[in-house]
């Protein structure tokens, strides 16, 4: 049905019904009626939909929507995300702290060698600047890590896998807030912490609980 194709391409573009309606100068309710098959778009609207979706009229009129091969609904626990957060912040400390140790060691060596006050003052000044900048950068990066993971446990992630594409829908409080679709070959794998594996979809980091995937899941080949 045309309504199913409109919904498919709308989600593939990451558009809500309201956003699509705005681009068409129509109401969200009109788009909703199309997708439910209760009304049909005019030929003018089909032509505009073709331009927005970057597709053809034949593709919009196809009756078959590609059947999903796998579908998962996951809610991430706060404990799982907390483990990811601790690992990432710990990694930041491991990268930053050695430079502080090196400067401190250099200062101690100069003091033991009874270097001139000018040299000692320069080293202490450089140590202070490096320490200040390093700590500022460390705290900013740690806040960024917390901010990126904060609230993810409140979302339900619905993953739909077809033969060549992954579609992700984010649901919060029973309402869909975002929909993303991209080719499987464009997925960027990340790190695994416990049963959680991170990956990027269209530049956005998401997580999947590998323990919930079926044993022969095709998704395991890409993340």
CATH number at residue 35: 1.10.260.40
| Final residue before a domain boundary, out of 116, 149, 182 | 149
162 and 217 belong to one structural domain: yes
Number of domains in the chain: 3
Cα separation of the two ends of the chain: 33
88 and 40 belong to one structural domain: no
140 and 160 belong to one structural domain: no
55 and 99 belong to one structural domain: no
Q: How far is CA 18 from CA 11, 14, 25, 201, in A?
A: 12, 12, 10, 23
Which pLDDT score is estimated for 62?
64
8-state DSSP, 66: P
Sheet holding 188-193, edge to edge: 188-193, 196-201, 204-209
86 and 141 belong to one structural domain: yes
Tokens standing for residue 29? 């309710």
Strand partners, 9: none
pLDDT by residue (tens digit) across 101-133? Answer: 776 776 677 666 666 777 667 666 777 777 777
Range of the domain at 134: 78-149
111 and 83 belong to one structural domain: yes
136 and 159 belong to one structural domain: no
87 and 125 belong to one structural domain: yes
84 and 131 belong to one structural domain: yes
93 and 118 belong to one structural domain: yes
| Final residue before a domain boundary, out of 124, 149, 174 | 149
Let me know: does 154 contact 81? Beta carbons within 8 Å.
no
47 and 10 belong to one structural domain: yes
Task: Name the H helices within the chain.
Answer: 2-12, 17-24, 28-36, 43-53, 57-61, 78-112, 117-149
Phi, psi (degrees; rounded to nearest 5) at 216: -105, 30
Q: How far is CA 54 from CA 45, 51, 102, in A?
A: 14, 5, 56
How far apart are the C-alpha atoms of 123 and 3, rounded to whole Å? 70
| Final residue before a domain boundary, out of 27, 61, 95 | 61
Which pLDDT score is estimated for 22?
94
82 and 145 belong to one structural domain: yes
Query: Which pTM does this prediction carry?
Result: 0.54
Residues of the chain with pLDDT under 70: 1, 62-68, 100, 103, 106-107, 110-115, 119-120, 122-124
Which pLDDT score is estimated for 65?
47
Let me know: does 207 contact 197? Beta carbons within 8 Å.
yes
């Amino acid at each position: 049905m045309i309504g199913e194709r409109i919904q498919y391409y709308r989600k593939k573009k990451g558009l809500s019904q309201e956003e699509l309606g705005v681009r068409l100068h129509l109401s969200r309710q009109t788009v909703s009626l199309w997708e439910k098959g209760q009304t049909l778009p005019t030929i003018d609207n089909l032509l505009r939909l073709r331009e927005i979706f970057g597709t053809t009229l034949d593709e919009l009129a196809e009756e078959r929507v590609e059947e999903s091969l796998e579908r998962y609904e996951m809610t991430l626990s706060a404990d799982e995300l907390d483990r990811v957060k601790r690992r990432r912040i710990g990694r930041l400390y491991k990268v930053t702290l050695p430079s502080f140790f090196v400067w401190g060691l250099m200062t101690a060596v100069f003091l033991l060698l009874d270097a001139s006050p000018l040299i000692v003052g320069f080293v202490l000044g450089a140590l202070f600047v490096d320490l200040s900048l390093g700590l500022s950068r460390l705290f900013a990066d740690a806040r960024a890590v917390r901010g990126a993971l904060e609230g993810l446990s409140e979302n339900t992630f619905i993953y739909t896998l077809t033969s060549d594409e992954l579609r992700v829908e984010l649901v919060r409080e029973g309402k869909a807030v975002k929909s993303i679709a991209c080719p499987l070959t464009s997925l960027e794998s990340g790190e695994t912490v416990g049963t959680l594996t991170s990956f990027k979809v269209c530049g956005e980091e998401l997580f999947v609980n590998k323990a919930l995937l079926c044993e022969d899941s095709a998704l395991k080949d890409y993340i």
